Structure 1
Amino acid sequence: MMESLLIAIDGPSGSGKSTTSRLLAAKLGLGYLDTGAMYRAATAGVLAEDVDDDGVADYVRGADLRIVTSSDGNTLTINGRDVTAEIREPRISAAVSRVATNLEVREILTSRMRRIIDEHGRRIVVEGRDITTVVAPDADVRVLLIADPDARVARREAELAGKADREAVQDQVLRRDRDDSTVSNFTDAAEGVTVIDSTFLTPDEVVARIEGLFPRHG
């Protein structure tokens, strides 16, 4: 067993980050952190407590945000309220960029993400928008996972299973990427980051390609 195996995976919505990351974590016995879920949980709290834009950063700074980093999926609570299911609702997807593009919020949550990584002894798969460049640029494996926009929208439609029409899904996927790209670059790979196009790959094939990037010892 390698002492450290920190895997950082970035990419746009619908590129397969979550599925790939959970599969890797389960296969390798690693922790799994969905950083996007942290922004969604913060958004759920902001909406529930009717926090205005000027108060968002202070709210997130003071919030008791807890996350269970299981490879089966992350469980999240904010100020004692379980929001695990709620954060996948279309209304959260429609509002999350309001929180995720706040630079103070990003600094606050980035610090929390790094603490979680350290608590796992750097044996964890972390996925999001700027993991390879900001949160964990020193990760053992750094991947930018991409896919064709049509494929990404289709995947999100299947995930939502009729909870939103195609126009709403396109807005969630493409508009959110556009908004988030103003504060994070997840379309171009930084130096040392491997690009994997998942458009025509199965999740298992993506996992196999990432495993091929693992550092070799001895």
Structure 2
Amino acid sequence: MYDGRGFHLIIAIDGPAGSGKSTVARMLARRMGFRYLDTGAMYRALTWKAMQKGVNLNDENALCQLMDKTSIEFHQKDGNLHVFVDSVNVTEEIRLPAVTNNVHYISNAPGIRHRMVELQRKLAGEGNTVAEGRDMGTVVFPHAERKFFLDAEIEVRARRRYGEFKPSDHGLSYANVIQDMEIRDRRDTTRNNSPLTKSNDAIYIDTTDLTIEEVLNLILKEIRFIVKT
């Protein structure tokens, strides 16, 4: 099993929703020619399938059995990362509000997290990887060559997330978004299994007043000694 100490390089990026980690991770991977591992999408993918199959989201055994029979894959298409569940492209579906509201059932299940960590390490073992999520530097890749923790004021994070919604999603108000984000932050930081936290050796970046390009440049400066960009 790949644990972050093998031949391939791992850049781990953690942080709460809206901190900019997904966008930065995608850009960084593209700039460096690395694989991009969106671990949050993996939990969303399983959530989507569980909802499609009518699996009880409180039944960890049933969820684990479902995951054991589920294939989650990433494929690059037209310069974008697409998520496939059992060969079905679910890239759009896993971002729907219904999935977002239920993903915590999946991410809080210890048996699921154990299986996800194994799969994430396996995927990273296939090549140099930029991995982003909430426990990359603390649990999944504790020996990553570089670790970053991105954060921002919650009002800014909520504004960013609100701006990502499609016009058809705008039944949700900014107040709804910030309330949901507060709940999600509390769940992520207080769960017993792999809570969102900054590892001691991670570089903290406050993105509140920074552009994505500025954040990317800060990260590139920190990793210039281990890769040629």
When normalised by structure 2's length, the TM-score is 0.86
Shift of 1:127: 0.2
Match of 2:4 in 1: none
Aligned CA distance change for structure 1 residues 209 and 67 (closer, same or farther; 3 Å): same
* Structure 2 Cα separation of the partners of residues 206 and 133 of structure 1: 21
* Structure 1 Cα separation of the partners of residues 142 and 77 of structure 2: 23
Any residues of structure 2 matched to 1:171-190 within 5 Å, and which? Answer: 171-181=179-189, 182=191, 183-187=193-197, 189-190=198-199
Shift of 1:158: 0.3
- Which residue type is aligned with residue 88 of structure 2? R
Structure 1 gaps, min length 5: none
User: Are 2:154 and 2:178, in contact at CA under 8 Å, matched by a contact in 1?
Assistant: no
Give the aligned CA root-mean-square deviation in angstroms: 1.8
Aligned equivalent of 1:170, options 160, 168, 178: 178
* Structure 2 Cα separation of the partners of residues 74 and 49 of structure 1: 25
User: Are 1:22 and 1:71, in contact at CA under 8 Å, matched by a contact in 2?
Assistant: no
- Which residue type is aligned with residue 19 of structure 1? T
Aligned equivalent of 2:90, options 77, 83, 107: 83
Match of 2:67 in 1: 60
Q: Identity rate of aligned residues, in percent? A: 33
Match of 1:26 in 2: 30
- Which residue type is aligned with residue 16 of structure 2? P
- Which residue type is aligned with residue 131 of structure 1? M
- SS of residue matched to 2:81: strand
Match of 1:197 in 2: 206
Match of 1:124 in 2: 129
- Which residue type is aligned with residue 177 of structure 1? D
- Which residue type is aligned with residue 143 of structure 2? D
Aligned CA distance change for structure 1 residues 88 and 130 (closer, same or farther; 3 Å): same
User: Are 1:22 and 1:72, in contact at CA under 8 Å, matched by a contact in 2?
Assistant: no
Residue by residue, what CA displacement relative to the aligned partner does 1:76-128 show, whole Å, maximum 9, x if unpaired?
A: 122232211001111111111011111110010110000000011xx111000
User: Are 1:8 and 1:136, in contact at CA under 8 Å, matched by a contact in 2?
Assistant: yes
- Which residue type is aligned with residue 127 of structure 1? E
Match of 1:111 in 2: 118
Match of 1:209 in 2: 218
- SS of residue matched to 2:144: coil
Aligned CA distance change for structure 1 residues 70 and 112 (closer, same or farther; 3 Å): farther
Q: 1:137 aligned to 2:146?
A: no
Shift of 1:215: 5.7
Shift of 1:4: 4.2
How many residues were matched structurally?
212
* Structure 1 Cα separation of the partners of residues 180 and 88 of structure 2: 25
* Structure 2 Cα separation of the partners of residues 172 and 130 of structure 1: 21
Shift of 1:15: 0.3
* Structure 2 Cα separation of the partners of residues 62 and 148 of structure 1: 40
When normalised by structure 1's length, the TM-score is 0.90
- Which residue type is aligned with residue 31 of structure 2? K
